[in-house]
Structure formats: structure tokens, C-alpha cells
Structure 1
Amino acid sequence: LLSVLVISGMESVNKHRKGIALFRDSHIFQIFETSISLLEAISHKDVSSLQMPFVLAVLDLCLNTLLFDFIGSLSDETSEDNYTVQVPTVWRTAFTDGKLVDLIFQLYIKLPSVASEKILHIGVQLASVRRTLFNGSERQTYLEHVVAGVKRVIENPEKLTEQPAFHEFCRMVSRLKTNFQLCELIKVPEYAAVMRLLAQFTVESLRMMDLSANSTYFLLTFWQRMVTSVPYVRSSEDHLLNLCCPEIMTAFVESRLQNVERVIRDGHDDPLEDQGATLQIMEHLAIICRCEYEKTAQLLANAFDENARIMEAGPEGDIRVVIAEGRLVWLVTLIGTAVFGKTAVSNNEEHDKMDGDLVARCLKFMRINDNRLIFPTTVNANPGKGNVRLEVAFIHLLEQFRRAYIMDQITKSSPVYDKLNTELGVSDETDMLSVIVQKILTNLKYWATNEQILELSLSLLKDLSLGYTAVRKLFRLQEVQLLLSNHTAEHFVFLGQSVPYSTMKHRTVFYEALTRLLTIDLNDDEQLFEQFMQPLAELQRIRFPGRAEGCISGNFTVTSRPCFQRVVVGLCRDLRGVAVACTTKNLFQIVFDWLYPDMFNIMMRAVEEWSSCPEVMTPIFRLLAELCQNRQQRLKFEMSSCSAVLLFKEASKIICAYGNRILVMPDVPKERAYAERYKNIGIIFNVLKCALIGAYVPFGVFRLYGDPCLQDSLNMFVKLFMKIPEEDFHSYTKIAQHYYNLLENVVQDNIAFVSNLQPEVFAAILRSVHTGVTSLDAVVITSACSALDTILNYLYKRFTRSPHPVAKVGMEPEGDSCLVAVKNQPQLMSDVRYVYFNIDDDVFTNFKREIISQQPEDRHAAFEQAFIGLMDGVELSLTVKNKDIFTQNLAKFRREVVEAVKGKEVSPSASNNDMC
């Protein structure tokens, strides 16, 4: 559609792109050559301090030419993944001989350290030049120059003491393996020497804890990619990784264990505080450690035993015990990482036995740690003698073991269980699942209000419930059966009403996992489902209080408004989890029968009472969105069922009740507008979108029987859309995506409703479509283009059909407001090509005249011929075939215009009719 429906807003984008392309093709290589000539001159002269600003400016010029987005593909310039410098082919002569690389590293040696960062950044770009720029021999020659430059830098490391320069060098090392293959690196004459130097450099960098982890991450990226490529290298080629990787793993493990003492004694920053960065590094170490795994496994086992003995023998609170506990956090995390590395290599039974030996140590320590926990004495408190980071490490270990050894594929029993069986009696996958579930339940009991541990534990439970084989084994466990029968606030504090709203959001994942476990053996057993839902049924039997009275909820009395709100929020969170897990028609029918009408009445009353409270409204609308989503056709009920219609009617009532209240509320400061107003509006858009695209409600019957629920919902959609200022609309990505998805479906199925909107409202929608087509968001662009196509097709039909068409039975009468808007504000559609050309032939004539008049006189004939070809074979209709012809003509028109601009003659081409 983008070829057919070119909007005026796209012209500015196209002009920008054309300007960039012209600059790339005509000027940037000259600028690059000039910068290189200046750098060559600098390399032959002594540079004084007064000349350094000029030198730095030249380096900036060279760097910026290499940073140029040559093909317009860098939507995220911060990404390091698969990054290549896409220099044009005409530049190849500047790179193939490698002299440019030698020049840059010569400048690194010659110039003072103030220039090192920029020089090494240029080196990063040179190491990232696209492979296809060279042929085979040229690529190998170029790589040899780059590797030689890396070697020169390592041999002269004094300038790397500055963090920026060190960071750029680490990035350059990483790019060696990103852009070149291991077999190519091995062929470099200096490969062995450089590998030894890089290994030593990595070891020293890892031991210097003051260096940024963001920089050493790139060094580990290089080694991880090298190890990953080993299976693709012939055995006769010595890659030396079996010597380098154990040294790197030893350096990492020892440096982190030694740093624990600095953290505890001197208060240094703990790398484990940044969980995201730690996990990123662990992903690399999982691969690196599997190279000569015997050495790594022995290292971890020895360190674990030493620190476990100190912790068991030392007095509580002793500084040596605290240090040992901190080191065990690292060791448990590293063992979990090492176990996950199994997934990246071929099966090796000896390695599996080593994994079992390491995991057995951790599980024994985990049991000891769980036994010493003291139940928290107050709500929102952590347990006595608990260590949050140690608990996070245990969850990490169990999660990695699950990913490596608990699989849906039916396989023979793994040797990993040999040691586990001997030490702990864990003989197979079922026993291990029991260990994991017991740990999850312990965390839910003792760490119920610690959000980090709660989230990780529930995420692990959810992951287990998603496995086809594992979930069946889980269901048969006694611990799981007890859990399905005792999921109340009495057993799990986070299900109570005294926890923060932020903690309550985890209840959705909890009930999603439980419901998925329950439905394994439910078989439409409504009685079993009722038993499972009994705790929620007690919450559902709530009575909204007056201003002076309390409210009974189950077996407890709610006397305060905040506590009453928490009951509603918790119930919505729980039921949303239940609904997510019910993906079959029969299961969802049971859920809906349980919900209707009581739960919808509760949501309606909550909206009436607390529409100004976003903490309550958001869970309600998220539950509605889930209920209206037709996952796996679960809402395609039997023909005798009216559940789908009732669901939409209830959703419509709740949406309209909320919308009517929020529209009359006073505006809030801009910094609070999203949280208090716009966020829930976006969720409402999503609710309506799910309902309209679900294809489970025969919307035509509403008007036929005089039910206004669809009309009310669409009217509320438009009012809420107008509530958000146009200039702010695209600042909220999720809202914009939900809006355009909804608009696409509204204009497709309810265009008559759109035609009756007020002209100013219709104009606002067109302006939003105009903005959407020029968006950088793929979701927004797709939906905006689809909506535009539908609107333009409709307008064309309205302008060209007979004045008194036959009315469709039961359909909303079409209005003329949209036509008024287009006629009164022609700038809204001033540059829509194909459809508007058909609507008014004068538009095409005027457009052609305007374009030709802007060209030199000697090119008028060529442009005239190009425009004739543009409409060749195009008829006055909007059939798919006709649009395809126009699209083909448009591509040809573009080529002919480019040729005409270059001064070449455009010859008449065969028409589409002649070609058929």
C-alpha cells in the first residue's frame, strides 16, 4: 500500500532520504579522502599541543564519515548486534590494500593519549567494514592488517589506562569475530601470538575490577563467539582456545571471589547489584566455560567446598562467614551458568556427571539455607537470616537446570542424576521437579513481599507450567496438589490485602500457572473448577459499602476504602491469570459462567465509585482486555450460547461508564496525565480492538434489535481519542499502537459510523492517519496504511456512485460529514496519489503541471512522457488489478524521472494493455 498510497507527509521523509542519498553519492567519499589525506600529513609531522584541536577535528571528520548510515538501516544506532559499516562499493580502493588500517594504528602510537579514544573508535569502524566489499584474498589481507593493529595496541597498552580508550579497544576486539570467521583468523600469520596476547589482556582486564563491566563484556563476547565457532573448524587447525579459555574462566572466578571481600570490608560497588548486566555476562561465560570444562568444573567445586566449610564452621555474624556467604552467591550463580552451557555443545556424559556433582553441592547448601530461615514477624519484611542475593542465585541455578535438563523431548535418564541420586535421593526428572517446586513454595512463604524474589520464583513456576511433559509430572506431585487446594492469603501473604499494589501484580502470573496446572486433568469437571475457585468466590461475595458502613468480604470485614479497593484489584489480577490459562472453548465457557454476572457487576460498581483511581481501574480494564481476546478461538461458543454477546455488552457498559466520568474530570498536570488518564484510555482501545477483531460477536444484530452497545462503544472510542492532545499522541507508543489497530478495524467494519462523525472529528482522524503513515513504528505504519486504504476506497465510492444508493437492511445510514470535511479541508488529502487522481482528474492535471514547471525546459518532454506512462492502462476503478497496474507504473515512473533528471531521454514504453 505504501507504493499506492503516498501521503504528503511522506514527501518530507522522501526528500530527506533523497538528500542523504545525494550527499552519500556525491560528497561523502570526497570528504573521507580529504580526512585521510590530512591524517597522512599529520602522521609525517610532529604535532604540538597547539595543533591538537585541529588533529582531533580531523579525526572526528574521518570517524563521522565511517559512522554514516549508508543504506538507512540503523534504526537503533546503539545496537552492537551484527553491526557492519556498509560503505559503497566505489570506496573499495581505499580499503583493500590495508594501508588505511596501518595509518590509523600508526597514529595511535604517534599521537598523545587525548586522541586515543577517537583513533580506536575509527579502528572499530574499520574492523566492521562489510565483508562483501572484498574478494577472498583481499579480505584475508585486510584482516591481517587489522590483527596486526590490534597486536600493536596490546604491545603498547599505556594509553589504554583511560576508560574511554579501553572501552573502544574492547569493542574493536569484539568486532574481529563479529565480522570475520574463525577459520580466517586462524590463517593470519600472527594468530598464535595475538591469541596469547589477547588472552593475557583479557585476564588482566577481568582482574582489574575498577574497569567497567560494560567494556569487559565485549572481550567476553569475542571469546564466546570464538568458542561457538569451534565445531565449524577442521580439527587439524589449532585454534588455541583450549589453552586460553580456562585461563579466562579462572581469572573471572578468582577476581569475583576476591572482590567480595572488598565489597564487604571497604564498601565497594557490588557487580551483583546490576542483575541485568550480570546475566548478560553469564550468557557468554556459559559458552566459554564449556571449552575444557573439566578445569572449570574442578575450579568451581574446590572454591565452593572451601567457602561452604567456612560458612558451616564459623560463628554467625563473623566477617569471614559473611565473606564466604558472598562468595557462595557468586559460585551458585556461576554453577547455574555452567550447567546451562550444556545446551550450546554436543552431548557429553562426562560433562553431565560434572554438572550433577556441582548441582548436588548447591542443592545441599540450599536446603541448609532454607532450614535456617526465620519467618518474618511483620508484613512486608524479609525473613530472618535471609540473603536476597543468595536466593536470587538459587533461582538462577534452578532455572538454568530446567532449561538444560528438563525438556519435553522424551530421552533416557541423564547421567546428571547419578551424583544427585547418591547425595540427595534425586533420581530423575520428577524428583528434580519436586525440589524446584519445594523451593518455589518456600520462597512464596518466606519472601512473599520481596518483589525481586517473588517475580523470579513465579516466573520459574510459570515456565515449568508451559512445558508439555513437565506440567504433567508437576500435576502429580503432592506439593502441587496441596498448592491447588490452599492458595489463600492465610498460606501466602502476597495474596492478602496488606501488600503494595506493585506486589499484587504478580498474582496474575501465580494464577496463570496454577490454572494451567489445574486444567491438565480438568476434563470439563465443573465441580473441581468450583473447588479451585472457592477462595476467589469468597472474595467475589463482596458488598459495596455506603459511606459510613463496612463491607463483608469472605470471612473478614473491610472497613476502609483503600482495603476494599485492594480486594477488587486482587480479584481482577487473579481472574486475569485464570483467563490467560483457559485457551479452549469449553474451559473459557466455564470461566465465563463463573464470572457472569457477579464479577461484571463488581467491576461496574468499582468504575462508578473509583473512576479517578488508576490503581483500581487498570487491573479492571486489563481483565476486560483478556476476556475479550479470542485466544485460540476460545470465544467461538456454540450457536445456542449468548455468552459472547453478553461479554461485549458488559464490556461496553463498563467502558462507557468509565469514559463518561473521565471526560468530565478536570485536567491533570502533564507529568501525571499518562498515569492517571491516558494509560487506561490505551487499554480501553485494546479492549475494543480485541472485541472487534475476535469475530465472535455478530455486531449487526445490535442495531437490528435496537441495542446501542456497539454504537455507544464506538462513540466513546472517538471521544477518548479526542481527549488526548494530537501533539502528545505519538509520545505514548502503546496507546498509539492500540489506537491504530482499533482504527483499522473500525473503518473496515463500521465505515458508516465514521461517515457520520462531525467534520472536525473526521479531520482529526485523517490527521492521525497522516501522522501514522510517517511513523517509525512498524505496527503503527501497517495499521495506518490499512485504515487509509479503506477510507480512500470508501471516499472514492461515495464521490463516484449514484446519489441515491439502495440502503442496506439493518445497517447504519451513511452520513455526509466525511465528504464535508474533505471538501472544506482539501489539504487533508492534498497529495494522496492514485485514489485522489481518480476522485478528481483536475488534481492529477494540476499536480503534473506543477512538477513539470519546476524542471528546466529541455526536460519538459521527458517528464511529460513519464507522466503519460504513469496513468497508462489505469482505469477509473479501485479493483486490485487496477491498483497493481498503477503500482507497477509508479515504479517505472520513478526510474524514468531519475533518468530525466540526469538528462537522459525517456522513450515511450509499451502500454500494459499491449503487454497483456
Structure 2
Amino acid sequence: MAASILSTRPVTITSPKSESMDGELACTVLRLMSIAADMQTSCEPLEIAFLTYLTNFSKAFIGTPVLRTSKLFSLLAESLNLPDQLTVLDAFVNKILKNLKVFFNNKTIIKETLKTFTELSMGYSFGHMLVKLDTIQYLLRNHAESLEFFSFPQRLNLRTDYYSALSRILSTYIDCEAENDMLEYFMLTFDRAFQNLCSIFQPRDYSLLKNDNSVKSTVIEVARSLTGLLVVTENKEMFMCYFDYIFPHYTNVLQEAMNIWMDDVDVTFPILKFFGELVSNRKPRIEFEVTSVNGILLFRQLSQIISGFVAFLLSSQFSNDSSQESQKNRYRGVLYSINILVHTLGAKFVNFGAFKLYGDEALDKVLNVFYQVISTFQLDWILSFNKLAKAYYSLVEVLAADHIYYLATLDSNAFHYFINSISEGFALMGRSSSNDELAVKCCHALDSLISHAVKCLKKKTNQVDTGLILAIESCKELLVQMLKVMLNAVIFEECKIYWSLSRPMLAIIILNKKYFDEAKNYVIEQQSNERQPMFHKLFDELMNGLDGSLSQRNRNQFNKNINSFRRDVTNFTKTAPPEEEGAIIGESDSIMIF
């Protein structure tokens, strides 16, 4: 109840009376919390209520102007010797740490405690106050000490949340201190763990290691902990500090662990999630010196890990198991692998030309993983999982943008699968915002692919470019179908991605106007005889001002034409007699119906 009062309290409105009430309420709750702590018993609802109150109190009173809360803290000072925001925050942190030690066997309390810790670690004012506390500074130096909840295998995933909160605090601490050795102290625990693993992995019978649960648990723990550090790190300088510790010493050990426990998803999945986070170059946060080879070396290592794991994932040993748990693991394995492919193949820290120049097969191995996936899994299966569909279309977008020459080398079936998957992505458009997001990725991929083909037609092409053009021409029916779907969205649907749609539409028109004429005629034929002349006129106006190129000026002009075209069609159809409204959309063709 006290927490609910705080959650509904206006932040900017206060008075001496309300401050006194807030202070008395806080004193009562904190006294009760102290009594409960002395009893050393676990009352789950009460502990969760305490944590909710701490969170709401922090949001309402910690980091706010002192004058506005002076009466409240005066009462806390008189009753509990908590005179200011810093001492109250220190009491909250001590409560969190005590929960982690005392209630280590209660997953619900531990989970809620970590949630509260995460809330406190977020935000500028909280972070700068936390790093002033001796308790926090001790915790950063001894973050793995006496935390028994780590010892429960079923709660290993909570390590990621714990280290995510610590990573935020550590980053703030390093920003505040010009010169400090806190990062070195913080990473010392990981250094020792990996040195121990490295000595264990020295030439030894792997069959014995596979059954060593202690070593296995250590691998899982460090993988999840490192993932927690990286997942919240967006500052480039901080990320590169972590990277210098992690690569190559830590990654070599984790690669060895992948080889040992390849058939154990409890080990491989946390390691794959770690590598996926390590190569995620958002913001961007990964930046190597001009003379650094780290990008190439990291990519080569990931090439070995992913190609080996996917080969096992698709092997009969794994795929023949039809149990629900096995199929779930198969889905997760494909998802994690594709996410890593997206991050690595779309990375801006690797010069992929170096691999071909020096005959290195690392890039070919990674690209072959995509071929293995589309050769094994039906598109319907991929689209049945939202996360997997998003990852797959992100990969399609990256391949079309940065590895188009690889697409030109695909066999006809694989290339048709690639183009058909883009077509299916367009067919999902308009059903939900997430499906529109997939359609935008399809727009980018198709635009990159067709725009490259247009450029090839306007210059002397090599054998690879000729192969790409022929492959695209072999998918004529799919291209026309996609144009029909895009035109239908522009004319008849409440579509929010007109700008994205206009780019591949123009590229296809420039590539071969016959494709557009066929799609246009189809739409016109769906109209009544009285409407057809006007639709002919509107389609002709759609091409006004275009010069037959893919210049930015031409693209902008086509986008303007699309907007005018949609407006004119809407105004025209509003004047149609009611009995003719049903003739607007051709109900006989499935691609026109959503």
C-alpha cells in the first residue's frame, strides 16, 4: 500500500504536510524492514513489497532537489539516522546485498531483488550517487564474493541481470574518476576463472571433461556474466576496454568449451549469446585502430565456431530427435546463429576483401551457413517464429547490401528461395507493426539487389554480374507479384511505409518497365469499365518527371509521385457509386487480399 501511494504521488507537487506524511510512512516501512531482517525468515510477499517500496521511494525522492525533500529527510535522520539521500541509498543497497545472501534459495525474491538493483543502476543521478558509496566500491572489487544464489544451476540466467547492473555502475565510476584501477580489480575474478579453465583444457581427455559438472558450470557462469557486462555497454571507450580483456584470451577458452560440449545446449547457447553480444556493433561501439588485425582475427574465430555449431545442429544426431524439447533447442540454435551472422556480416570493423585476396576460407564458411539454413528449413517454419523471422530478414537485408556477389553465386533453387522469402515478407505487410518492420527490411534488400542489377546493365559487366542479372530475370513472376502487392498497399491499404516501398518499386521499373506494365494492367483490370480510363491516367502521371535513373533526385521525385498518386486515387474512389465499391480490389487473386 505504501509503495502504491508513492507510485501515484505527483513528483512536482509537494507541501510540508505531505513531506511529513511521506517521512512518517518511510520511517514505518524501514523500521518494519529492519525487524523482518532480524527475524531471518523468508516471507515472500512481504519482501517483494519492501522491494517495490524501495524502487518507488528512489524514483520519488532520490536524486531530487534537497530543499524539496528536507522535511522528509529530517524525520528519517531523527528516527533512523538517515540524514540525506546518500545514506538512504546506502541502506537500500545493503538491503539488496543482504537479500542476495540470505534468500539465495528463493528464486522469486532473488529475481525481484535484481530487478530493484537494475532500477537503481539506471539513470545519471542514481549512477553518480551509487559510485560514492563504499559499499558499491567494495562490491565492484568483490562482485562474486559470498553470492550463493550463483550456485544454483537453474538460476544461472540471473547472472546476466546482476552483471548488467554492475556494468552500468562500473561505467559511471570510470567516467567519474580520471585515473583509477577499478576495471582491473573488477576483471580480476574473470582473469582467474579463465586461467583456471585454460589450465584444465590443456591436453586432456575431453570425454572426462564432458562429465565434469564443476568445470561445465564455470564455463556457463563466465559466459552469462560477460554477456551481462556487454549487453548494456553502449559507450565505445568502455566497450573497447572490455574487449581488450576478452579477446583473444577469453574467447579462445570459450571456443574450446564449444568444442567439448558441442552437444550440450546448456553450454553452447550461453556461449553463442555471448559471442552475439560481443560482435553487436550498435551505436557503433566497436572501433579498431587502422593497424589492428583484431577485426579479421575475431571474424575468423567466429567463422570456426558458427560453421562447426551449425554443422552439428543440422546433423542427423541432432535433427532426428523429434521431441518438443529438441525442436525448441533447434529453433534457438538457428536463432542465435543467424543473429551472429547478421552482426558479423554486417560489421563495419572487418575488411571482407582481405579474405578473398589472401585465399582465406573464413568468409566462405560463414556465408555457407546461410546456404545450409535455407537448404534445410522451409520458409514457413522460419516465419512461424517472430524472433527468428526478424533475425532472418535482418540477414537477408545484410546479404543484399554488403554481400551481393555471394548471392550471384547461389544455385537457382537457393536464389529463388531468397527472392521468394522477400516476396513473402511483403505479403505480411499491414498485419501488424512488427510485420511492417519485416517489410521494410524486405524493401531495403530488394532495393539493394535490383539497384545493383541496374548499375550492372549500364556498364560493362563481368561474369558474376551477368549471372546475377540472369538470376533476377529468372524470378520475373516473383518480381511482378511483389509489384502488385506494393501497388495494392499504396492504393488501397492504410500503409505506413510508403517511402520504403517507393525505393524498390522505382528500381524494378528502371530495371524492366515491362514488369511494372504487367502489374499496372492487372490493377486496372480489377476496376470497373467506368474507372479504367481514370486509372490509366493516374498511372501515367505516376511516371511524371522521372529520368530513368536511380539518382537521389529521381528517387525523391518518385516518392512525391507516389504520395500524389495515392491522394488522387483516394479522392477519385470517394466519388464512386456505392454499388461499384466492391470492384476496387480484385478478390480473385490471393496476393491482393490481406
TM-score (norm 2): 0.82
Q: Which residue of 2 aligns with 1:508?
A: 160
Q: Quickly say closer, same or farther: Cα 1:782–1:668, change in 2 above 3 A.
A: farther
Instruction: Give the corresponding residue for 1:728.
Output: 381
2:402 maps to what in 1?
749
Paired position in structure 2 for 1:697: 350
The answer on 1:444 being equivalent to 2:95 is: no
Partner of 1:337: 4
Taking the aligned partners of 1:676 and 1:450, their CA distance within structure 2 comes to: 27
Q: Tell me the CA shift for residue 744 of structure 1.
A: 1.4
Secondary structure at the counterpart of residue 720 of structure 1: helix
1:407, 1:467 within 8 Å by CA — same for their partners in 2? Answer: no
Q: Deviations over 1:736-775 (max 9, x none)?
A: 1122223212211221111211221111111111121232
Please tell me whether the aligned partners of residues 756 and 815 of structure 1 are also in contact (alpha carbons under 8 angstroms). Answer: no
**1:352 and 2:19 equivalent?**
yes
Secondary structure of the equivalent of 1:342? coil
**Contact 2:157 2:224 survives alignment (8 Å):** yes
Does structure 1 residue 785 correspond to structure 2 residue 440?
no
| Aligned match for 1:766, one of 398, 415, 419 | 419
Q: Which amino acid aligns with 1:337?
A: S
CA drift of 1:593 comes to 2.5
In structure 2, distance between residues paired with 1:622 and 1:463? 23
2:308 is equivalent to residue 652 of structure 1: no
1:154-193 alignment to 2 at 5 Å?
none
> What is the CA–CA distance in structure 2 between the aligned matches of 1:434 and 1:897, rounded to whole Å?
63
| Matches of 2:211 and 2:439, distance apart in 1 | 47
CA contact (8 A) 1:507 1:570 kept: yes
Once the 2 structures are TM-superposed, how far is the Cα of residue 441 of structure 1 from its aligned partner?
Answer: 1.0
- Equivalent-residue separation in structure 2 for 1:413 and 1:710 (angstroms): 60
- 1:737 lines up with 2:390 in the alignment: yes
Matches within 5 A, 1:27-38: none
Q: Distance in 1 between matches of 2:178 and 2:297?
A: 22
Instruction: Output the CA distance in 2 between the equivalents of 1:845 and 1:486.
Output: 70
Offset at 1:721?
Answer: 4.2
Q: Distance in 2 between matches of 1:408 and 1:817?
A: 65
Which residue of 35, 38, 53 maps to 1:371? 38
Is 1:531 aligned to residue 185 of structure 2? yes
CA distance 1:444–1:602, change in 2 (3 Å): same
What is the match of residue 869 of structure 1? 541
The reply on whether 1:598 has 2:245 as its aligned counterpart is no
Question: Is the 1:753–1:814 contact (alpha carbons within 8 Å) kept by the matching residues of 2?
Answer: no
Q: Tell me the residue number matched to 1:204.
A: none
Alignment of 1:303-322 (within 5 A): none
* DSSP-derived class of the 1:830 partner: helix
Q: Is the 8 A contact 2:164 2:228 kept in 1?
A: yes
What is the aligned partner in structure 2 of residue 801 from structure 1? Answer: 458
1:8-157 correspondence to structure 2 within 5 Å: none
Partner-residue secondary structure (3-state), 1:630:
coil
What residue identity is the alignment partner of 1:437?
V
Larger Rg: 1
Distance 1:610 1:621 in 2: 12
Structure 1 residue 844: Cα displacement: 4.5
- Unaligned stretches of 5+ residues in structure 2: 484-504, 578-594
| Aligned AA (2:167) | T
- Hey, what does 2:150 align to over in structure 1? 495
* CA gap 1:705/1:869 in 2 versus in 1, 3 angstroms: same
Match of 1:814 among 426, 449, 464: 464
Per the alignment, residue 298 of structure 1 pairs with none
Shift of 1:493: 1.0
Which residue matches 1:546?
Answer: 205
Match of 1:471 in 2: 127
Aligned residue in 1 for 2:480 = 830
Cα pair distance change 1:748/1:358, threshold 3 Å: same
CA distance in 2, matches of 1:660, 1:590: 33
1:124-158 residue CA offsets vs partner (Å, 9 max, x unmatched)? xxxxxxxxxxxxxxxxxxxxxxxxxxxxxxxxxxx
Q: Does the C-alpha gap of structure 1 residues 843 and 663 become closer, same or farther in structure 2, counting only changes over 3 Å? A: same
User: CA contact under 8 A between 2:2 and 2:25: conserved in structure 1?
Assistant: yes
TM superposition shift of 1:359: 1.3
Contact 2:23/2:72 (<8 A) preserved: yes
Q: Secondary structure of the residue that 1:761 maps to in structure 2?
A: helix
Cα deviation, residue 415, structure 1: 1.6
- One-letter amino acid of the structure 1 residue matched with residue 447 of structure 2: D
The answer on 1:610 being equivalent to 2:257 is no
Whole-angstrom CA distance in 2 between matches of 1:847 and 1:871: 14
Q: What letter is aligned with 2:477?
A: Q
Give the one of 577, 580, 590 matched to 2:228.
577
SS class of match (2:359): coil
Structure 2: distance between partners of 1:882 and 1:625: 39
The amino acid that maps onto 1:781 is A
Match in the other structure for 2:79: 423
Output one character per residue of 1:343-371: Cα deviation in whole Å (capped at 9) or x when no partner: 45612232121111011111111111111
| 2:96–2:117 contact (8 Å) kept in structure 1 | yes
Cα distance between partner residues in 2 of 1:348 and 1:722: 69
Question: Which residue identity does 2:139 align to in structure 1?
Answer: L
Residue 409 of structure 1, CA deviation: 5.9
Change (3 A) 1:386 1:817: same
User: Which digits, 9 at most, give the CA deviation of each residue in 1:26-69, with x for residues without a partner?
Assistant: xxxxxxxxxxxxxxxxxxxxxxxxxxxxxxxxxxxxxxxxxxxx
- 1:615 is displaced (CA, Å) by 2.2
1:757–1:818: 8 Å Cα contact kept in structure 2? no
**2-structure distance, mates of 1:860, 1:446:** 77
Letter in 2 for 1:492: L
Aligned residue for 1:676?
329
Alpha-carbon displacement from aligned partner over 1:253-308 (angstroms, at most 9, x marks no partner): xxxxxxxxxxxxxxxxxxxxxxxxxxxxxxxxxxxxxxxxxxxxxxxxxxxxxxxx
Q: Is the 8 A contact 1:702 1:708 kept in 2?
A: yes
CA separation of 1:635/1:409 partners in 2, compared to 1, >3 Å: closer, same or farther? farther
Change (3 A) 1:403 1:835: same
The letter of the residue matching 2:205 is G
The alpha carbon displacement at 1:889 in A equals 4.0
Q: Unaligned regions of 5+ residues in structure 1, if any?
A: 1-333, 374-384, 551-558, 808-812, 904-916
Compared CA separation, residues 868 and 620, structure 1 to 2 (3 A) = same
> How much has 1:427 moved relative to structure 2?
0.7
TM-score (structure 1 length as normaliser): 0.55
* Identity rate, percent: 26
- 1:481 aligned to 2:137? yes
CA distance 1:654–1:851, change in 2 (3 Å): closer
Q: Is the 8 A contact 1:408 1:468 kept in 2?
A: no
Code of the residue aligned with 2:396 in structure 1: it is: L
1:582, 1:716 → 2: CA distance?
A: 29
Structure 1 SS opposite 2:419: helix
Equivalent-residue separation in structure 2 for 1:746 and 1:524 (angstroms) = 42
Flag the 1:744–1:842 CA change in 2: closer, same or farther, 3 A: closer
8 Å CA contact 1:353–1:417 kept in 2: the answer is no
In structure 2, relative to structure 1, the CA distance for the partners of 1:769 and 1:825 (3 Å cut) is closer
- Between the aligned partners of 1:844 and 1:531, the Cα distance in structure 2 is 64
Structure 2 vs 1, CA of residues 409 and 644 (structure 1 numbering), >3 Å: closer, same or farther?
A: farther
**What letter corresponds to residue 87 of structure 2 in structure 1?**
D
RMSD: 3.0
Q: Distance in 1 between matches of 2:178 and 2:333?
A: 35
Distance 2:42 2:523 in 1: 75
Structure 2 matches for 1:191-340, cutoff 5 A? 334-340=1-7
Asked whether the 8 Å contact 1:353–1:418 carries over to 2, the reply is no
**1:637–1:644 Cα contact (<8 Å) kept:** yes
